[in-house]
């Protein structure tokens, strides 16, 4: 990623972050090839939210689209971060799982179908706790099935980021793409602060939060495959590139020994800062196991 932006570039760029979930999903497809499955007029909404006094959204904050990306068959599932924090409930989870299973079925029949997941999510929706947890377990199973046949690409553009159980889904992906604005982590900063105190993690210290969870750090430590500027054509180009690459020789989550050895070699008796980790865990070392 080059970061030599002039103010003119900044003004003229087409922000991807400012798009809603439906616009984000549409933007990724080759023009005129996409169609939405189970859209808002199908009215498949969460049956649990209204009971708890929360207004449901007709698509449950999950947009599923099918079409072509760079000429390849693809399905895109976009979570709407503005609705209930992009959280995964029974319906949104089932929609994403079904989309992955559809891609798997097509891939097995001879049409490799890439899945692109746009993750703006805090993880499980608390109002549907157990069903949300079950949904994430099912999702992980479906990602593992599909990724043998076609790449599963996760994109977190921001500004919600990707946390909780959905970070595990991102961890299983063939490729992960982020912007500087996005964050990726298992426990969100507020959760860590709440559970272990402000000395452990000060969630109001944004510089600290982004230095640890932010896209730039995740890319520099090899946990993410591409860092893109928040500009729609550049985001689209990155996704097209990974769709074209196909299934990676080795998935990141299969490199168990690499990551174990990294943690083993870390001297935990002292506090490491994010910049030191970048030199220790370079992006290069993450790809060592791939060749």
Does residue 54 touch another protein according to CB under 8 A?
yes
Contact 54, 89 (CB under 8 A): no
Decide: is 15 part of the binding site for another protein (CB under 8 A): no
Q: Considering only 10-18, 51-59, 242-250, 278-286, which stretch makes contact with another protein by CB under 8 A?
A: 51-59
Residues in binding contact with another protein, number by CB under 8 A: 15
39 is an interface residue for another protein by CB under 8 A: yes
**Closest approach of Cβ 91 to another protein, in Å?**
14
Give me the least distance between CB of 97 and another protein, in Å please. 22
Q: Does 40 engage in binding with another protein (CB under 8 A)?
A: yes
Angle between helix axes 232-245 and 21-28 (nearest 10 degrees) is 50
Question: Which stretch in 1-9, 37-45, 106-114, 243-251 sits in contact with another protein by CB under 8 A?
Answer: 37-45
Does residue 57 interact with another protein by CB under 8 A?
A: yes
Residue whose CB is less far from another protein, 82 or 144? 82
Count CB-CB contacts under 10 A for residue 10: 12
141: contact with another protein by CB under 8 A: no
- By CB under 8 A, the residues from 229 to 268 that bind another protein are none
For the bound state, the minimum distance from the C-beta of residue 167 to another protein, rounded and expressed in Å, comes to 22
Which residue is it, tokens 């999702």?
139
The site string for another protein over 58-87 (x = CB under 8 A, - otherwise) reads x--x------------------x-xx----
What are the tokens at 177?
Answer: 């793409």
With beta carbons less than 8 A apart as the criterion, state whether 222 and 287 touch: yes
Would you count residue 32 as binding another protein (CB under 8 A)?
A: no
CB of 57 to another protein, least distance (A): 4
Among 19, 27, 48, 56, binds another protein (CB under 8 A): 56
In 3D space, the residue among 34, 35, 33, 88 whose CA is nearest the CA of residue 60 turns out to be 88
Q: CB of 139 within 8 A of CB of 169?
A: yes
Q: How far is the CB of 41 from another protein (least distance, A)?
A: 6
User: Is residue 126 a contact residue for another protein (CB under 8 A)?
Assistant: no
| Distance between CA atoms of residues 57 and 166, nearest Å | 20
Nearer to another protein, 1 or 50 (CB): 50
- In the complex, the residues that contact another protein under the rule CB under 8 A are 20, 39-41, 50, 53-58, 61, 80, 82-83
């Amino acid at each position: 990623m080059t970061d030599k932006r002039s103010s003119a570039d900044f003004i003229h760029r087409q922000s991807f972050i400012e798009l809603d979930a439906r616009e984000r999903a549409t933007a990724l497809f080759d023009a005129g090839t996409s169609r939405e499955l189970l859209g808002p007029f199908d009215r498949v909404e969460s049956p649990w939210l209204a009971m708890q006094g929360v207004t449901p959204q007709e698509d449950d904050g999950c947009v599923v689209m099918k079409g072509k990306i760079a000429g390849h068959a693809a399905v895109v599932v976009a979570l709407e971060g503005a609705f209930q924090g992009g959280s995964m409930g029974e319906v949104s989870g089932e929609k994403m799982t079904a989309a992955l299973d559809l891609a798997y079925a097509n891939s097995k029949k001879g049409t490799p179908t890439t899945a692109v997941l746009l993750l703006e999510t805090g993880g499980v929706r608390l109002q549907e706790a157990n069903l949300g947890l079950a949904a994430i377990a099912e999702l992980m199973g479906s990602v593992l099935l599909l990724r043998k046949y076609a790449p599963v690409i996760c994109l977190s553009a921001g500004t919600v980021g990707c946390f909780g159980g959905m970070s595990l889904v991102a961890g299983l992906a063939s490729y992960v793409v982020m912007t500087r604005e996005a964050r990726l982590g298992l426990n969100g900063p507020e959760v860590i602060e709440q559970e272990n105190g402000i000395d452990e993690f000060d969630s109001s210290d944004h510089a600290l939060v982004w230095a640890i969870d932010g896209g730039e750090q995740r890319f520099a430590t090899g946990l993410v495959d591409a860092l893109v500027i928040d500009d729609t054509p550049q985001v689209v180009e990155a996704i097209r590139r990974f769709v074209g690459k196909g299934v990676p020789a080795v998935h990141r989550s299969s490199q168990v020994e690499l990551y174990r050895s990294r943690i083993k070699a870390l001297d935990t008796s002292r506090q490491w800062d994010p910049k030191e980790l970048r030199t220790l865990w370079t992006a290069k070392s993450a790809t060592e196991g791939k060749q």
